[in-house]
Amino acid sequence: MADEPVIAPDQLKPGHPKAFKIAGVLTMISLVLMVLGNHHGNVENIYLIGTAALIGVLIAADTVMRRNGLKK
Closest CA to 45 of 57, 33, 27, 56: 33
* pLDDT recorded at residue 6: 75
Note the pLDDT tens digit of each residue in 47-62: 999 999 999 999 999 9
Note the pLDDT tens digit of each residue in 28-50: 999 999 999 888 888 999 999 99
Q: How many domains does the chain have?
A: 1
Q: Is residue 9 part of a domain?
A: no
Q: How far is CA 41 from the centre of its chain?
A: 28
Question: What residue numbers bound the domain in which 22 lies?
Answer: 16-32+40-66
12 in Cβ contact with 47 (< 8 Å) = no
Alpha carbon of 70 to those of 31, 39, 50, 61, 65: distances in Å? 30, 42, 27, 11, 5
Q: Is residue 50 part of a domain?
A: yes
* pLDDT recorded at residue 9: 67
Note the pLDDT tens digit of each residue in 9-32: 666 666 788 999 999 999 999 999
